[in-house]
Structure 1
Amino acid sequence: MAQVVFSRVFYWRWWLFGLLIILLSLWGYIKLKNPDVLPIRTVKIIGDYNFVSRQLLIKKIMPFVHGGFFSINISEIQGAALAFPGVKEVYVKRIWPQTIIINIQPEKILGRWADHYLLTDSGNLVMIKDQKIRDQYLPLFTAPLGDELKIVNFYQQSLPLLKQLPWQVKNVMLSDGLQWSIRFNNNTIVKLGQRDVQLRLQRLVEVFPQLFANSAKRVNYIDMRYTKGMTVKWQTQQA
């Protein structure tokens, strides 16, 4: 009989102990979710994102930075940052005891598109109102609206060849008739046509050292729309 009583007492003690642990855990959870406990006092914004000013970033994000270290809503902060143009990813990290770090990663920009946009490597157009920011990016892409991915694919395929030329690409153009041409920083235009554009660009790279590298004349345009040859128009020398 004594053994039975002891077992019951032991059982009830463990049950009460477990209940106490649960209640303490619940109290601790409620306490930590209180926004007045360990309030966030320092916000750091990092990353290479520069499409808008840091002042504007902080102004738009700070209304969502409320609560304590454990209660702050990370998803709201990420959503506010992702609303900015050209933002690809946002990471928010808590640093004990009162700091959060917001890491903003931009989309990769290939160049400008028309008057008010930048073109990303995924074919997205990002509207940037600040002309000073837009002008930092080259080349300028000119193409019918809806052909963004054609521009992206062509430019990315052509880059290894274009990097072998001493001229810098200023403008990549795709006409309504799907004719490709490239304007360089010396205003020379290379006409590549509609077909076999990579083969034609490769041919230009191969003959460039012999025909253009040491020439004192300036080239107006190079027409590569031939099976094996090309046409070159030299600029007229001004007196």
Structure 2
Amino acid sequence: MRRGLRLVWLGGVAVLLMALVTKGVERLLHPETLPVRSVVIEGDFQYLDRQAVSETLVPYASGGFFSLDLRPVERAVEAMPWVHGVSVRREWPDRLVVRVDEQVPVARWGETALLNQYGELFHPPVETQPEGLPALWGRDGRERPLMERYLAVQARLADVGLEVEGLQEDARRSWVIRLQDGSQVVMGRGMDTDRLDRLVRMYPRLTEHRDEPIKRIDMRYTNGIAVAWGEPAEALE
């Protein structure tokens, strides 16, 4: 009998404790309990407007410390065009910390898009895009290979004082190097390092005995190259 009463008593205590815990959790999750009073935005910005980030957060960053859903806060900031990544955390007792990683543009893709350092496309407003980036053109899905090719070509041609403005690849993967002086180098299909080495060897000889600027170099020959010359600078004035 006593054992039965004891079990009933323990059961009652357990029910009471569960009720208290449930009530406590409900209280903690109530939006008015421990409200978030400050939002800290972390990150180094060159293109993002910190005030714009703050204004974006306003509709999402209000509520209780425990009840606030962090995922909508992240999504709201991630939707901003110059944002690469976002992390949000709570800091006791009433602070929300939003860490924003800005996109780092390394090249232009086509007419309106940019590539970041990972070869990923993003589409900030054209008027916010920086000048002087190398320009890459190609089919969708070729962003990373062309960026890697550009870096390799840029490093190799720097040995003979050539600055690469950009690369263009067509649907058949035939590609062209565009140089800062306005000339072009037609490379054919694929990344043929032998052709690139031949260009580096022969370029100094091409400019050694002629004053006319080079307009176009065609590397699609097995053992040689074809060169088209522009008019002398005097004739263009």
TM-score by length of 1: 0.76
Question: What is the match of residue 185 of structure 1?
Answer: 180
Q: Please, what is the CA RMSD of the aligned residues?
A: 3.3
| Equivalent in the alignment of 1:164 | 156
Residue equivalent to 1:204: 199
1:21-42 CA-to-partner distances (Å, cap 9, x unmatched) read 2122111111111112221122
Following the alignment from structure 2 to structure 1, what is the Cα–Cα distance between the partners of residues 207 and 41? 47
Cα deviation 1:88-125 (Å, max 9, x = unaligned): 4432111111112223345664421343322455564x
- Corresponding residue for 1:99? 95
Q: 1:31 to 1:136 in 2, by over 3 A?
A: farther
Match for residue 219 of structure 2? 224
The reply on whether 1:59 has 2:49 as its aligned counterpart is no
Separation in 2, partners of 1:98, 1:216 = 73
Corresponding letter in the other structure for 2:18: I
Mean alpha-carbon deviation: is it higher for 102-111 or for 223-232? 102-111
Contact 1:190/1:223, CA 8 A, preserved across alignment? yes
Could you say if the C-alpha distance between residues 25 and 150 of structure 1 is closer, same or farther in structure 2, counting changes exceeding 3 Å? same
Taking the TM superposition and a 5 Å limit, the aligned residue runs for 1:1-239 are 4-5=1-2, 7-47=3-43, 52-85=48-81, 87-105=83-101, 109-119=105-115, 121=118, 124=121, 126-131=122-127, 133-136=128-131, 138-143=133-138, 147-166=139-158, 167-175=162-170, 178-195=173-190, 197-205=192-200, 207=201, 211=205, 219-233=214-228, 237-239=232-234
Give the conservation status (yes or no) of the 8 Å contact 2:88–2:99. Answer: yes
Cα distance in 2 for partners of 1:208, 1:44 equals 57
Question: 1:170-199: CA deviations, max 9, x gaps?
Answer: 122234665311112233322112355454
Q: 1:238 and 1:49, CA in 2 relative to 1: closer, same or farther beyond 3 A?
A: same
| In 1, Cα distance between equivalents of 2:209 and 2:30 | 75
Tell me how far 1:67 sits from its aligned partner.
0.8
User: The residue matched to 2:157 in structure 1 has which SS?
Assistant: coil
Using the alignment, how far apart are the partners of 1:81 and 1:191 within structure 2? 43
How many Å apart are 1:65 and its aligned residue? 0.9
Identity of aligned residues (%): 25
Matches of 1:198 and 1:130, distance apart in 2: 35
Distance between the aligned counterparts of 2:109 and 2:150, measured in 1? 18
